[in-house]
Amino acid sequence: MIQNKKIQFEELGLKEYQEAFDYQEKRMKEIIDLKLKNRDRNDGIYEKTPNYLLFVEHPHVYTLGKSGDEENMLANSEKLKEINATFIKTNRGGDITYHGFGQIVGYPIVDLDNFKSDIHLYMRNLEEVIIRTIAEYGLKGERSEGETGVWLDVGKPYARKICAMGVKTSKWVTMHGFALNVNTDLRYFEYIIPCGIKDKTVTSLKRELEREFSPEEIVEVKTKIKKHFEDVFVAVIE
């Protein structure tokens, strides 16, 4: 197999969750179809499978992973309508989380056969991308054993999550990804038990740095994520 290290970045802008989900599935299917085509060839000519990182922002939405507990959704339908939010069950791993304005959501649609076919390593690499990114803002991101994502002050009573993660893979092709809180309205997390973890809270770059990020600065954060994504994932196979 010919490995393709190149990452193609796409900015989707503001999109409803379902629309972005459908687009992820389209990209994923394209890659899987190409892998199957390569597998069935007998002429020795193979096409490289592409890798994407999609950036998107969602209107207020709560999503529940396939292994999640619906009881972690604390708001009923009337409350959801009141706060202008929706609730969707999805096919990623993990429990419940929130997406909304001021949050950078990244969906890597990558062929892990281009890197390493190891989902545990993939998740740790995603965490590493965010850890390196927020380090540029003076924040020490950490991993919390048994709890996916990026955290601050792990092991302390005030440990808090700044980036949630949940993925799905098929034929070693990924979808879903990470949600980094930048200017996120953290009050929306009050209506769920985030990721099903009852004894920890959530935070954002805005809260930690005590300032609002301008649209230009949010673009800069994405640029940093792109750089670290390429650095981390290329390093895996070199």
> Which residues are annotated as catalytic?
195
> How far apart are alpha carbons 73 and 79 in whole angstroms?
11
Question: Residue 234 in 3-state DSSP?
Answer: helix
Which residues neighbour 45 within 8 Å (Cβ) at sequence distance 6 or greater?
none
Distance of CA 37 to the CA centre of its chain: 28
Q: How many residues does the chain have?
A: 238
Amino acid letter for position 49: T
Residue 182 contacts residue 205 (beta carbons within 8 Å):
yes
Helix 119-135, helix 215-236: angle, nearest 10 = 140
> How far apart are alpha carbons 72 and 193 in whole angstroms?
5
Radius of gyration, alpha carbons of the chain: 18
**DSSP state, 49?**
P
State how far the alpha carbon of 94 is from the alpha carbons of 32, 51, 91, 194, 197, in Å: 23, 23, 9, 10, 11
